[in-house]
Structure 1
């Protein structure tokens, strides 16, 4: 009897939101008979508490020290979202997220070399570059999961600058000449930081005995599964080995219970605030955000606030700071009283069950940092969003939600309490009048809910690639002279540019014309 195929899922940089979509895909593969192993850094065992389908856990590196993690995310949160020259912050963040490479490379190599643990296929988070190295060296098929279309790849003439690193605009369609120029020149301002980062990567790789560099790819040379869809992503041509398979979410939404259910019982226009586990805004930003939301509450625009604020974010707050009273008759309140839930119209929690809250019809609007998971959960729930991004793909997701017509964008650098109140008012007025925001919310929600079925396409593609790889491997064993490429990879990716672009053919056709022209000019002139 044939042994079941072993799939290894690996997540290193990033948090649980990086792992959740991969575990959802793994559960489908487990139902199809695959054995699922999971590899990650130490201290993350709790991620598998609801994953009985995972047969083995492999630790491929030490836990990141808590103080280092908080320091890094605090530095990232200082990212200037309205600037084209954030490169020192960008590359510092990349170093942090990639700092476990040498541990992962070494331990993953050991897993692959051991027949007892060698996987038949690896499904990796996009931050785990060591997978590309190990799979190349030891001939293991793999796929990488990206939360958005891969950054810096699959350029298009109508996408200004570097894909995934645009500022202000996602496409050139309605962009001014100045906006297109800013995006076009942005990458050149990164040169000093890029060179320093490449030197750092080279040293890290050489310390592990790896002296080649991973190539910068114009398009992925692996199966790329993008956890998004083309009502958020700007539509563009993609090769067959890149698939938009998101939003990847569990089929069922948990029932709302506990204090959240009780809080919503007598309300109909609740504002939900969640700015992510790792976003560490300074006190000023959070104070303005809260002042603006409480002003909207006092004016009756909304009738309740749920605020999920992580312990790390709480430590950045001045709890003695004064905020407006939730009622006209009251005096100012302290932030500490808010965190202690002393005001009946405001519920704060260190953790909130986000999907059940967003799906509750009594929740009217969502203030979000526009992280990948929050973005997908919001559009599937069909709720308008007020975005306040901090760093990385949050900035792009905020632009995607804006261009999809389902959000009101805010910027942390220019945020004021009145901006927040105005954004909430705009959303609630649109809900009452069934305006364009709600029309787009229903449109995008409908598309997103259909797109959630594409997680099964992702699993089908994984199985396709595995079957294709097995066949090509057998061909090589039989000594077939001409190697066959992955069936989803276009021939262009395996050809020199001059041949793929037919430059030689063009030259062959143009040369006689130029020769005749030269002879004619010589004879008559």
Structure 2
């Protein structure tokens, strides 16, 4: 009788529906590879039963309608469009072909600074149109969202979150336009390299000098959009006393798209959660034509090459040089490239408009990844233990690849050196034939995978944590509310300096007065 009772209870428990704990999440994403990251996270949240609403502009070129989220489409006249991005990147690549990372950074920082502010102005139109629409504001209020999830490389998400008084979680790597760590955590410039310096965490004296100078440049880059673009929006919609510099670092949780297997150790904060590799997934079967091509490579294996979502084509001479080099190798090559077909393309190279990168990287026949150094691809290469030859183009790509090169898992070539003295061929052969590159990457892969929780599970947990507790104020330091002179204790130093000077001067003044009194000549009276 007792076993029957147990079985009945078990059956009853199985039939009882689980309590739904789904939340209501408002998402303000960014375009390009940033959206690819966000999309992966949104799918995981949807699978947990959460309702997701994505705010996009009417000119979005990455964010499409989908079944697992609803959309709010904001009509705008201006936006960062694909044509603008392509023109800028083409100009930058042409410049970089004849220069070094130092001047490339200075070029990016100074010459394109007006364009940078223009892009933020265009992107921020979404906030004005959105918050001037009374019907849309009513719709959002009636939806009773639990959370704003945003990518803070633009300043739109934080203003919207503060306007509707909602908890906020960042899916973050960049914060207008610096590494987000510099905005929230102590960042000693003696061993924390600024992106663009091409330095590691072991710097010489002159590298530290350069690090300080570059840090000042990035502060200017951050200051201009904040004050010229986003501060007026804060004053208009949040009140004259609202300081954008303060609210932009007031997120409850910062889901940081990196980890310390890839990055250099550095100070951090309690509300910074590291989810590097959250987008990595086990490889799926390849399409039939790719599987056939990969298997035809025999013992030599396959090289794959991709230069990311933004780079659709290369200068013609550079593309021909790369194709000619691939033709000299015994390996098969799969090259994701949407530009003009190079005249020197060999029979061993398959050129495709798109390839399933993560599935290819997970195939044991892939021997080498030729990459531009985007964070997504670098982390995927670490996950699947595939060594890298890097061809960095712009932004943080050189620094990303440098982290792998320092760990012995990659070889970097600049665009200026690819075509010289068979450098590209020599780099490919070195990484293919020297076992240490693959061994070092395998070591990084083991470290990356040896975690108590999967990065995606960690990300989802903390998003749900913020929804359950209506924020995470207990994890936020008070530093973001402090003026710079209080944060750096300048007022305390001045006070103590004055006190010490007073203590030193007081005896001197006393003795001086005493001496004057004692040594004062007596006046003879008649």
TM-score range normalised by the length of the shorter chain: 0.7 to 0.9
Match of 1:122 among 132, 148, 152: 148
Over residues 200-228 of structure 1, what are the superposed CA-to-partner deviations in whole Å (9 max), with x where a residue is unaligned?
63698499878868534699321211111
Over residues 7-53 of structure 1, what are the superposed CA-to-partner deviations in whole Å (9 max), with x where a residue is unaligned?
122224x31x212332332333333332112222346698567x643
| Cα 1:419–1:255 shift into 2, 3 Å | same
Give the corresponding residue for 1:215. Answer: 244
2:10 pairs with 1:10: no
Is the contact between residue 61 and residue 100 of structure 1 (CA under 8 Å) also seen in structure 2?
A: no
| Cα 1:94–1:386 shift into 2, 3 Å | farther
In the aligned structure 1, how far is the partner of 2:356 from the partner of 2:445?
20
Give the corresponding residue for 1:85. Answer: 106
2:422 pairs with 1:422: no
Give the corresponding residue for 1:305. Answer: 333
- Mapping of 1:100-179 within 5 angstroms? 100-107=123-130, 110=133, 111-114=136-139, 115-147=141-173, 149-150=179-180, 152-153=182-183, 154-159=185-190, 164-171=194-201, 173=202, 175-179=203-207
SS in 1 for 2:200: coil
Is the contact between residue 164 and residue 396 of structure 1 (CA under 8 Å) also seen in structure 2?
A: no
Give the corresponding residue for 1:489. Answer: 476
Is the contact between residue 384 and residue 406 of structure 1 (CA under 8 Å) also seen in structure 2?
A: yes
In the aligned structure 2, how far is the partner of 1:373 from the partner of 1:94?
26
Match of 1:30 among 30, 40, 46: 46
Any stretches of 5+ residues in structure 2 without a counterpart? 1-18, 513-526
Match of 1:518 among 490, 505, 524: 505
Give the corresponding residue for 1:238. Answer: 268
Give the corresponding residue for 1:439. Answer: 439
| Cα 1:90–1:281 shift into 2, 3 Å | farther
In the aligned structure 1, how far is the partner of 2:491 from the partner of 2:59?
56
| Cα 1:218–1:396 shift into 2, 3 Å | farther
Task: Provide the aligned C-alpha RMSD in A.
Answer: 3.6
Is the contact between residue 390 and residue 413 of structure 2 (CA under 8 Å) also seen in structure 1?
A: yes
2:458 pairs with 1:457: yes
In the aligned structure 1, how far is the partner of 2:122 from the partner of 2:261?
34
| Structure 1 residue 345, shift from structure 2 partner | 1.6
Larger Rg: 2
In the aligned structure 2, how far is the partner of 1:523 from the partner of 1:200?
54
SS in 2 for 1:364: strand
Give the number of aligned pairs: 470
| Structure 1 residue 379, shift from structure 2 partner | 1.1
Over residues 366-408 of structure 1, what are the superposed CA-to-partner deviations in whole Å (9 max), with x where a residue is unaligned?
1101112111211111100111111112232122222232110
Give the corresponding residue for 1:359. Answer: 362
In the aligned structure 1, how far is the partner of 2:182 from the partner of 2:57?
27
Over residues 335-356 of structure 1, what are the superposed CA-to-partner deviations in whole Å (9 max), with x where a residue is unaligned?
4xx3xxxx54211111111111
Greater displacement, 104-113 / 225-234: 104-113
Give the corresponding residue for 1:271. Answer: 303
| Structure 1 residue 193, shift from structure 2 partner | 7.7
Any stretches of 5+ residues in structure 1 without a counterpart? 322-333, 471-484
Q: TM-score, normalised by structure 1?
A: 0.78
